[in-house]
Amino acid sequence: MKSINPSTEAIIREYEPYTIEQCNRIVDQVNEAWHNWKTTAMEHRSQLMMRVAEVLEKRRDELALLMTNEMGKPLRESRSEIEKCAWVCRYYAENAAKILADETIASDATRSFVSFEPLGVVLAVMPWNFPFWQVFRFAAPALMAGNAGVLKHASNVSGCAVAIQSVFEQAGAPENLFRTLLVGSDKVDAILQHRHIRAATLTGSEHAGSKAAAICGRLLKKTVLELGGSDAFIVLADADIEKCVETAVTARMINNGQSCIAAKRFIVAKEVYEDFVVRAIRKMESLKTGDPATDDIDYGPMARADLMEALQEQIDKSVSMGAKLRMGGHTLKRKGFYFAPALVTDVTAGMPLFDEETFGPVMAVIKAESEEHAIRLANNSQYGLGGSLWSRDTRKAQQLARQIESGSVFINGMTKSDPRLPFGGIKNSGYGRELSHYGIKEFVNIKTIWVK
């Protein structure tokens, strides 16, 4: 298992994968730790999560640089990611006791109530694109609910995986409460089948998600899946185009374009279509690329060479089908996995840039003939993760937002995850919710207790 710097293509470090026997021993140890942890007072759990937040903030610069070196995101985005991880830890430290308090429900009993009790050891299969945030948005609520965690991270961010375990250890977490398994994807099936793994959460591809869900379904284990996305960014004729374009480029280019909830299909009303395109090109051309470990760049390299190749193929095929490449769309002649941001117009259904998830810096612009047409275009997708809708008429926008088939819709703003709000998708984007009071209840036993 190799960590490779995508900016220089140099090997950072190699890791020896664990054997399945090592993994089984670790899961057994985590299960033992869980039996003690599940009975701890909520106040004790909150104190630990507060210390985790403090460790993250103290180590922010070190962890941010590690993240940038392993997967290539701009350093300022890496720092923000660590800060967001501290935020989610504090959110659940401050709110979990209230969220998970017994809920009294009137019935024919003298007293009847619902308690929320932990399930056990939860396996988290996590991706490389937000190597800290994806983990902590699972770990903070799961541990606060009394569960224990086992992390199988993406192989190219093994350094981040090791560092995350060290954060919990440094914060004084009980031994083996949260462990990292350094394994490739080939061992996930066997780990899921371990008798002490009670549930699993996976963020990744549709293929990985459906495979994990099939195994867990056969074994009757709970799963939460956050898979791919092809979020619609709808621009109505009455939108504030200047603010809209500013956000559109940010939404497409965040994390070097490699985000499940990045805006990907830009559905623009015909009245403002060309104005949007011209402004977007101007904005994208002003972006500065370079070494992501420096503070003065806007975007860095893609995480791997194969991702560039796949993106190039999607662009080329769409252009051969009638789309127009208006800027960029090619690899840069320099060391590292750098790709020139692309803007493609005249994209229609049936083209890869419309039908498939594009995981990289390409903006696909689609013309809408009417507001109803825009909604139909947005829903003409196998995905349903997030979406963004722009209009000065917010009352109308809220009505249209209800018609969009996705887990979230942001009106006059960029789709993002927030500890206070539920996050997740429908259709091929997965099921279940993370964050908010909904997310912490995904991995609990919602138990009815009836007293006469």
State residue 136's pLDDT score: 98
- Beta-strand pair 362-368/148-152: unpaired
Shared domain for 183 and 256, answered yes or no, is no
- pLDDT mean by block of 10 residues, the chain; 452 residues: 97 97 98 98 98 98 98 97 98 98 98 98 98 98 98 98 98 98 97 98 96 98 97 98 98 96 97 98 96 94 97 98 98 96 98 98 98 98 98 98 98 97 98 98 98 98
Domain of 270, in residue numbers: 231-418
Shared domain for 198 and 286, answered yes or no, is no
- Domain contains 424: no
- Domain contains 71: yes
Three-state DSSP state, 426: strand
- Domain contains 209: yes
CA dist 213 and 44 (Å) reads: 33
Domain tally, the chain? 2
Whether the CB-CB separation of 215 and 191 falls below 8 Å is answered with no
Shared domain for 216 and 167, answered yes or no, is yes
Shared domain for 75 and 189, answered yes or no, is yes
- Domain contains 76: yes
Task: Point out the catalytic residue in the list 81, 216, 260, 356.
Answer: 260
What are the E-state strand segments in 321-368?
324-327, 342-345, 362-368
| C-alpha distance from residue 39 to each of 50, 120, 321, 356 (Å) | 19, 12, 60, 46
SS3 content of the chain, % helix, strand, coil (to 5): 45, 20, 35
Shared domain for 408 and 278, answered yes or no, is yes
Shared domain for 307 and 173, answered yes or no, is no
State residue 190's pLDDT score: 97
- Domain contains 287: yes
The residue type at 235:
V
- Domain contains 376: yes
Residue 395: which CATH number?
A: 3.40.309.10
Shared domain for 341 and 439, answered yes or no, is no
Shared domain for 439 and 401, answered yes or no, is no
For the record, the structure tokens of 433 come out as 């919710």
Task: Point out the catalytic residue in the list 70, 77, 81, 226.
Answer: 226
For the record, the structure tokens of 149 come out as 């965690």
| C-alpha distance from residue 326 to each of 51, 194, 275, 308, 332 (Å) | 50, 51, 14, 18, 17
CB atoms within 10 A of CB 54: 15
- Beta-strand pair 11-14/426-427: unpaired
Shared domain for 202 and 295, answered yes or no, is no
Q: Longest C-alpha distance within the chain, in Å?
A: 76
Whether the CB-CB separation of 381 and 265 falls below 8 Å is answered with yes
State residue 16's pLDDT score: 97
Cα 142 → chain centroid = 16
CA dist 375 and 395 (Å) reads: 16
CA dist 152 and 130 (Å) reads: 14
Three-state DSSP state, 25: helix
CA dist 205 and 208 (Å) reads: 5
Residue 80: which CATH number?
A: 3.40.605.10
Tell me whether residue 260 is one of the annotated catalytic residues.
Answer: yes
Shared domain for 380 and 414, answered yes or no, is yes
- Domain contains 67: yes
- Domain contains 62: yes
- To the question of pTM greater than 0.95 for the whole model, the response is yes
Tell me whether residue 226 is one of the annotated catalytic residues.
Answer: yes
Shared domain for 150 and 88, answered yes or no, is yes
Shared domain for 215 and 289, answered yes or no, is no
